[in-house]
Amino acid sequence: MSTLPKDFLWGGAVAAHQLEGAWQEDGKGISVADVMTVGDNKTEREITDGVKPGLNYPNHEAIDFYHRYHDDVKLFAEMGMKAFRTSIAWTRIFPNGDEDEPNEAGLKFYDDLFDELLAHGIEPVITLSHFEMPYHLVTEYGGWRNRKMIDFFTKFATVVFKRYKDKVKYWMTFNEINNQAGLNKFALWTNSGINPQPGEDAEREMYQASHYEIVASALAVQIGHKINPDFQIGAMFAMGPVYPVTPDPKNVMKAERAMQANYFYADAQCKGRYPAWLKKYWERKQYDLDITLADEDVIKAGTVDYIGFSYYASHAAQAVDGEADDYMTRAKDSEVNNPTLKQSDWGWLIDPVGLRYTLNWLSDRYDLPLFIVENGLGAFDKIEDGKIHDDYRIDYLREHIKQMELAVNVDGVKLMGYTPWGFIDLVSAGTGQMDKRYGMIYVDKNDAGEGTLKRMKKDSFDWYRKVIESNGADL
Ligand code: BG6
Backbone torsions φ then ψ of 343, nearest 5 degrees: -120, 155
With the most atoms of ligand 1 within 8 angstroms of its CB, the residue from 374, 396, 427 to mutate is 374
Q: Which atom of ligand 1 is nearest to the CA of 430?
A: 14
Position 42 scores a pLDDT of 87
Backbone torsions φ then ψ of 174, nearest 5 degrees: -120, 125
Question: CA nearest 439: which of 388, 475, 404?
Answer: 388
Going by pLDDT thresholds of 50, 70 and 90, the confidence category of residue 262 is very high
Query: Which residue CA neighbors atom 9 of ligand 1 most closely?
Result: 429
Instruction: Report ipTM for this prediction.
Output: 0.99
Q: Cβ distance 67 to 19 under 8 Å? A: no
Q: How far is the CA of 456 from the centre of ligand 1 (A)?
A: 22
Give, in order, the Cα–Cα distances in Å from 326 to each of 92, 241, 255, 257, 276. 44, 19, 12, 8, 12
Position 3 scores a pLDDT of 76
Cβ burial of 143 (10 Å; 0-12, 13-18, 19+) is buried
Domain residue ranges of the chain, discontinuous segments joined by +: 9-469
DSSP state string for 322-334: T--TTS----GGG
DSSP state string for 100-152: SS--HHHHHHHHHHHHHHHHTT-EEEEEEESS--BHHHHHHH-GGGSTHHHHH
Virtual CA dihedral for 387, 393, 397, 399, nearest 10 degrees?
A: 120
Q: Is the CB of 435 under 6 A from ligand 1?
A: no
Q: How far is the CA of 428 from the centre of ligand 1 (A)?
A: 6
Q: Is the CB of 207 under 6 A from ligand 1?
A: no
Q: Which atom of ligand 1 is nearest to the CA of 346?
A: 15
36 phi-psi bin (left φ>0, alpha ψ -120 to 50, beta other): beta
Average pLDDT in the chain: 97
Going by pLDDT thresholds of 50, 70 and 90, the confidence category of residue 1 is low
Q: Is the CB of 31 under 6 A from ligand 1?
A: no
Tell me what the mean pLDDT of segment 187-194 comes to: 98
Cα gap 204→10, rounded to integer Å: 39
3-state helix, strand, coil in the chain (%, to 5): 40, 15, 40
Give the active site residue among 132, 176, 374, 405: 374
Q: Which is more confident, 26 or 44?
A: 26
Q: Which atom of ligand 1 is nearest to the CA of 131?
A: 8
Q: Is the CB of 374 under 6 A from ligand 1?
A: yes
Going by pLDDT thresholds of 50, 70 and 90, the confidence category of residue 2 is low
- Side-chain-side CA neighbours of 458 within 13 Å: the count stands at 25
Q: Could you tell me which residues come within 8 angstroms of residue 122 by beta carbon, excluding any fewer than 6 positions away?
A: 11, 73, 76, 77, 81, 82, 83, 84
Catalytic site residue 374? yes
Q: Is the CB of 362 under 6 A from ligand 1?
A: no
Q: Which fold has domain 9-469?
A: TIM Barrel (3.20.20)
Q: Is the CB of 449 under 6 A from ligand 1?
A: no
Q: Is the CB of 27 under 6 A from ligand 1?
A: no
Position 41 scores a pLDDT of 86
Position 209 scores a pLDDT of 98
Give, in order, the Cα–Cα distances in Å from 357 to each of 5, 250, 354, 363, 424. 20, 21, 5, 10, 27
Going by pLDDT thresholds of 50, 70 and 90, the confidence category of residue 280 is very high
List pLDDT tens digits, range 363-372.
Answer: 999 999 999 9
Q: pTM of whole model > 0.95?
A: yes
Q: How far is the CA of 430 from the centre of ligand 1 (A)?
A: 6
List pLDDT tens digits, range 378-411.
Answer: 999 999 999 999 999 999 999 999 999 999 999 9
Q: Is the CB of 176 under 6 A from ligand 1?
A: yes
Q: How far is the CA of 396 from the centre of ligand 1 (A)?
A: 16
